[in-house]
Amino acid sequence: MSEVVFDTQSGDILTRTGEASQSQSVRPSRGLPLTIRHLRKSFGNQEVLCGVDLHVPSGQFVAIVGRSGCGKSTLLRLIAGLETADTGSISFGEQVRRQDIRMMFQEPRLLPWARALGNVQVGLGEERNEPDAQARADLALAEVGLSDRRGNWPAVLSGGQKQRVALARALVSKPRVLAFDEPLGALDALTRIFMQQLLERVWKEESFTAVLVTHDVAEAVALADRVLLIQDGRIAGDFEINLPRPRERGSADLAQLEGSILRQLLGGQDNGVS
Amino acid sequence: MSLIETLPRLRTLRVPRPDGLIQWIVPLCIIVIWQIACTAGFMPQRVLPAPSDVAVAGWKLLRSGELLRNIWVSFWRASIGFLIGGSIGFAFGLANGLSKLSGQLTDTTLQMVRNVPHLALIPLVILWFGIDETAKLFLVALGVFFPIYLNTLHGIRNVDPQLIEMGRTYGMGDIELFRRVIFPGALPSIFVGLRFALGIMWLTLIVAETIAASSGLGYMAMQAREFMQIDIVVLSILIYALLGKLADSASRALERITLSWHPAFQKA
């Protein structure tokens, strides 16, 4: 099916259309694959995760949905290394450095006493004192569209802007896995949509493996390649989202997918919708 | 305690600041009314001398050098005592805020000592040190210790744990975490302690000098009382007010510089 084109300038034969556009979305990813085996975690007597097995191929965008208290945030914190598992393993296919895996929290968690640029520099970890630190931080701020805010204190930024600074801080070390813990949960509806588009764009540009925890199924199907449903500490559903990007919000395909995931989410409840 | 101290400030600082002059209107009015009351004869000279008389007395003392010498002696005692007590309080606040063991070990003891009014120790201190410089420094240091200790401890314990977790996930070690997250986070509270301590510093010093000293502002006032020089007594009281205001302004200026990130210190 692919059309062969002769490039007059370089003399190379390029393949275009079908294969080319596909190779753009499946171009070799910097992202790390993620393999989780028999993962268990309990807090006191409460078992939060009881045997999670999961493989995420490199560069995939996975969304994790579930009711509150289902263990999805705990799973994410385990992936990000903020908690340690009781049993089981999480591996990334190779030895990872701390700055390869970054986490974005629900709250921006910016240092109020550092300017926007300084907050982004925090994200460089041990490299924050190197001579090019400021240039790298500037680049990350530009990526989230906040170059003109570099000298501002967090106190004067809006909620969305703070979360964008937090995103820049997570991106500046060029992570290969990025974990998102409902980072858009506290934003207003319009800012959310804007932020979702931003997340999708940086994910494409930086090609990291993304794990997004959210309670918003619409957000999950709009962004992710794959949606995992967690119930009672186990993975109870695994949906591939094979829709082309950029996805049109409110389209029938998305709505249908959202509906079927929601049905399963709510079906787990004993007496239907409460 | 610390909340009440900061709340009115949060509100007043929002006001744009032509207050350089506005804040002096009320004290000026008081002095004018006072002067009028004295010259008109409503106020007997023996009860309260006129501001003009106080000024004359002040001028005489200034010319003789006695005033400056006494102010300097008091200022020196205040600052040295403050430095000693403040740094010990700060050190204990840090230690007990950062280390659980240290907190368990010393906090109860310190709380017990805190509940003894430090001025009640004056008889004991005189027995120990006589009316020497050490006595005054000891009392000032002791008085200053507690507000600094308590507010440093409170500030460190109340640093947002989410920020600490964030710092850890971004690979900050203990020293860096302290320097970049814990200390700046505790700073507003430390400043509250500082301003309390400055008030206690003057109070303690004046009381100590009034009771047992051979120089200083408190001594000057007591001497004047002996000779019924009421104008000098009033002068001393006015100087306390001015020095107190000066110390407060200095700490506020420091606060405004170091806490420029704080929403309360930003121009809207």
The ipTM assigned to this model is 0.81
Distances (CA, A) of A105 to A212, B10, B169: 11, 29, 11
3-state secondary structure of A64: strand
Class of residue A22 by CB neighbours under 10 A (exposed 0-12, middle 13-18, buried 19+):
exposed
C-alpha closest to that of B180 among B193, B201, B166, B194: B166
Residue of B nearest to A77 (CA): B169
The DSSP code for A128 is G
- Which pTM was predicted? 0.80
Pairing of strands A234-240, A226-231: antiparallel
User: Tens digits of per-residue pLDDT, A58-80?
Assistant: 999 999 999 888 889 999 999 99
CB contact under 8 A, B170 and A122: yes
Tell me the chain B residues in contact with residue A112 when contact means C-beta distances shorter than 8 Å.
261-262
User: Tens digits of per-residue pLDDT, A123-136?
Assistant: 998 888 888 999 99
Which CATH architecture fits A30-96+177-267? 3-Layer(aba) Sandwich (3.40)
pLDDT of residue A211: 96
For A40, other C-beta atoms within 10 Å of its C-beta total: 15
Tell me the chain B residues in contact with residue A111 when contact means C-beta distances shorter than 8 Å.
163, 180-181, 184
Cα distance between residue A256 and residue A106, in whole Å: 28
The DSSP code for B174 is H
Cα distance between residue A201 and residue A143, in whole Å: 10
- Determine the topology of domain B2-6+50-265 in CATH: MetI-like fold (1.10.3720)
Cα distance between residue B58 and residue B211, in whole Å: 23
C-alpha closest to that of A213 among A16, A33, A52, A77: A77
User: Tens digits of per-residue pLDDT, A172-220?
Assistant: 999 999 999 999 988 898 899 999 999 999 999 999 999 999 989 999 9
Question: What is the average per-residue pLDDT within B182-192?
Answer: 95
Distances (CA, A) of B228 to B44, B210, B213: 14, 15, 19
CB contact under 8 A, B162 and A107: yes
Which residues lie closer than 8 Å to B252 by C-beta, 6 or more apart? B195
Cα distance between residue B173 and residue A124, in whole Å: 14
Helix axis angle, B122-129 to B133-157, nearest 10°: 130
C-alpha closest to that of A171 among A249, A88, A103: A103
Domain ranges of chain B: 2-6+50-265
Cα distance between residue B190 and residue B93, in whole Å: 10
Between A and B, how many CB-CB pairs are < 8 A? 49
Tell me the chain A residues in contact with residue B184 when contact means C-beta distances shorter than 8 Å.
111, 113
- Among B162, B169, B184, the residue with its CB nearest the CB of A80 is B169
CB contact under 8 A, A156 and B266: yes
CA angle A47, A52, A55 (to 5 degrees): 160
Residue of A nearest to B257 (CA): A113
- Among B169, B184, B187, the residue with its CB nearest the CB of A82 is B169
φ, ψ of residue A114 to 5 degrees: the values are -120, 145
- Among B162, B171, B180, the residue with its CB nearest the CB of A126 is B171
Average pLDDT, chain B: 88
Domain ranges of chain A: 30-96+177-267, 110-175
B191 and B90 Cβ atoms separated by less than 8 Å:
no
A171 and A195 Cβ atoms separated by less than 8 Å:
no
Average pLDDT, chain A: 85
CB contact under 8 A, A105 and B167: no
Cα distance between residue B37 and residue B30, in whole Å: 10
Where do we find the tokens 């010990």? B88
- A104 sits in the region (left: phi over 0; alpha: psi -120 to 50; else beta) called beta
- Among B162, B184, B261, the residue with its CB nearest the CB of A155 is B261
User: Tens digits of per-residue pLDDT, A109-121?
Assistant: 999 999 999 999 9
pLDDT of residue A24: 43
The residue ranges of DSSP E strands in A61-191, in sequence order, are 61-65, 87-91, 101-104, 177-181
**Omega before A246 cis (within 30°)?**
yes
